[in-house]
Structure 1
Amino acid sequence: MPKVTFGYDIHKDAWSWVLIAQDKDCWGLDWKNQVIHIPDELLKKIIDNEQDKAIAIISNYISNNKFLDYKKKIIDAEIQSLKKIWRSKEITFFDRLKILNRLITK
């Protein structure tokens, strides 16, 4: 049976920040609401740099954030809660997915 893995990755988080900041039409969402948590000077750096450089800038920003330890505790608690909820539904989900795959491949 497959298992879903939950975790947090600063580099992937940084990639997400950059993707949203550099694509004002991303997913049809209100761009200003999506980037409101990014300080103005940091947002300018994201927009002014290529994706790889912007990701490095954001990764560094997140890694050196004075609230990182506090945020890690919150993220870890959320991950544990999500795992607990997911594990109760995981077997049913993958059983249903198997059925769907069989129906699609017929």
Structure 2
Amino acid sequence: GPPTANVVPMEADARVIMLQTEKAFDVVDLDPYGTPAMLLDSAVQCVDEGGVLIVTATDMAVLCGNNKEVCFHKYGSFPLRSKCCHESALRILLASIEQHANRYKRHIV
């Protein structure tokens, strides 16, 4: 028959849960209020090979260039203030995820 889904609610620091769980997760959905930057390292380590990592960033002002220093601190990139700032923001977020994944010999597709 079809596999059964195992969903277990947990209440603790997400970074700790992601790093202490023995079995890798098939899907990890990061949807923090604000930046996901502090969760990326743990997330790329705990998602299974071939798994799905879903990331939401609600700090678009930072990613779009309103505070370049904060963006560099959180994501390792300087944003551009231009008409294409939303595309640039997405590229910054993807580059940050890729950098975290590369530390563990992983990559994003």
Q: TM-score, normalising length from structure 2?
A: 0.30
More strand by percentage: 2
Q: Which has the larger radius of gyration?
A: 1
Higher relative contact order (CA 8 A, sep 6+): 1
- TM norm structure 1: 0.31
Higher helix share: 1
